[in-house]
């Protein structure tokens, strides 16, 4: 059932009680999976149940995945494995580690891992394969704003990643440090901060996690730095998404301490 067919079944009064301004907007939302037929109070529960069964939710992310698979169908992923920092596995599949989790990308570009793989994870890995594979890490560390297009998204890195990480370190530095090390981060010497870890979000996208403990003048603070080449392997929006996921993983791990 598409939105037009769904619309025909609605009262068409545009009363707004479902939270949408029009019945058509509601029909579209139901078809996208953003709402349920039951949200319209003028449809009986029996009819809502019957209509719900006819709705085929179109997840637009699946269309992106299909397109990305099409885009990289002629790439020999095994030949590219070394450049991607991937490991070649059986049956011409490759394995890529992303935020501490190993993903298998088969020859026909299907992505699996231990447990469920979300559409976003698939999109990210396919983008990495599509844009990656060329370039050598420079070990020249720059702020997110210095990456191509980074200025527009830098607020997201500060608000969604650096600020929550600073708070985690401020509350329990031992737990936060333990969580990032358990995920695979290694402590290194880096003159700009008292404590620095290097962590690979993806094999070609390392970050430095710089941590300054609180003192009499300042609160605890965390800043992320990126290899100068990061924007060659992924666009900045995807890097933000990776960093947000990294922050979420650390946050969840800290709760276990």
x/- string (CB under 6 A) for ligand SF4, residues 19-58?
-x--x--x-------------x-x----------------
Closest contact distance (angstroms) between CB of 28 and ligand SF4 is: 11
Binding flag, residue 7, ligand SF4 (CB under 6 A): no
Binding flag, residue 69, ligand SF4 (CB under 6 A): no
Closest contact distance (angstroms) between CB of 77 and ligand SF4 is: 46
Both structure tokens of 252: 């969840």
Binding piece for ligand SF4, criterion CB under 6 A, among 8-16, 80-88, 119-127, 136-144: 8-16
> Which of 13, 63, 139, 219 is close enough to bind ligand SF4 by CB under 6 A?
13
Which residue lies nearer to ligand SF4 by CB, 15 or 137?
15
The full length of the chain comes to: 257
Element (H, E) at 249: helix 236-255
Binding flag, residue 15, ligand SF4 (CB under 6 A): yes
Distance from C-alpha of 245 to C-alpha of 243, rounded to nearest angstrom:
5
For residue 100, what are the contacts with CB-CB under 8 A and spacing of at least 6? 183, 184, 249
Both structure tokens of 241: 């998404």
Which residue lies nearer to ligand SF4 by CB, 48 or 239?
48
Binding flag, residue 18, ligand SF4 (CB under 6 A): yes
Binding piece for ligand SF4, criterion CB under 6 A, among 11-19, 146-154, 180-188, 221-229: 11-19
Alpha carbon 30 to its chain's center = 25
> Which of 2, 5, 8, 16 is close enough to bind ligand SF4 by CB under 6 A?
16
Nearest of 10, 13, 59 to residue 39 by alpha carbon: 10
CB-based burial of residue 53 (10 Å sphere; 0-12 exposed, 13-18 middle, 19+ buried)? exposed
Torsions phi, psi for 187 (to 5 deg) = -75, 135
Binding piece for ligand SF4, criterion CB under 6 A, among 18-26, 65-73, 87-95, 173-181: 18-26
Q: Pairing mode, if any, of strands 221-227 and 205-212?
A: antiparallel
Closest contact distance (angstroms) between CB of 44 and ligand SF4 is: 12
Tokens 């149940």 locate to 49
In the DSSP assignment, the letter for residue 108 is T
Both structure tokens of 13: 């009064």
Q: How far is CA 49 from CA 7, 23, 40, 44, 121, in A?
A: 16, 18, 12, 9, 32
Binding piece for ligand SF4, criterion CB under 6 A, among 13-21, 137-145, 160-168, 176-184: 13-21
Binding flag, residue 11, ligand SF4 (CB under 6 A): yes
Binding flag, residue 154, ligand SF4 (CB under 6 A): no
Instruction: List interacting residues with ligand SF4 (CB under 6 A).
Output: 10-11, 13-18, 20, 23, 26, 40, 42
């Amino acid at each position: 059932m598409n939105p037009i067919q769904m619309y025909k079944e609605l009262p068409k009064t545009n009363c707004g009680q479902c939270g949408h301004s029009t019945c058509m907007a509601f029909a579209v939302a139901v078809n996208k999976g953003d709402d349920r037929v039951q949200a319209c109070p003028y449809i009986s529960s029996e009819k809502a149940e019957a209509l719900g069964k006819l709705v085929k939710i179109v997840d637009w992310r699946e269309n992106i995945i299909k397109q990305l698979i099409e885009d990289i169908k002629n790439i020999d992923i095994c030949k590219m494995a070394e450049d991607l920092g991937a490991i070649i596995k059986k049956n011409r599949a490759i394995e890529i580690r992303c935020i501490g989790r190993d993903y298998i990308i088969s020859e026909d570009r299907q992505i699996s891992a231990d447990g469920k793989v979300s559409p976003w994870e698939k999109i990210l890995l396919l983008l990495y394969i599509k844009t990656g594979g060329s370039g050598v890490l420079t070990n020249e560390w720059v702020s997110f704003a210095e990456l191509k297009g980074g200025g527009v998204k830098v607020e997201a890195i500060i608000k969604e990643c650096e600020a929550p990480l600073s708070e985690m370190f401020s509350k329990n530095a031992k737990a936060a440090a333990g969580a990032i090390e358990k995920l695979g981060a290694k402590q290194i010497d880096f003159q700009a901060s008292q404590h620095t870890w290097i962590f690979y979000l993806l094999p070609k996208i390392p970050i430095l996690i710089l941590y300054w403990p609180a003192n009499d003048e300042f609160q605890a603070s965390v800043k992320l730095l990126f290899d100068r080449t990061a924007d060659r392997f992924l666009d900045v929006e995807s890097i933000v998404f990776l960093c947000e996921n990294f922050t979420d993983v650390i946050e969840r791990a800290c709760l276990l301490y």
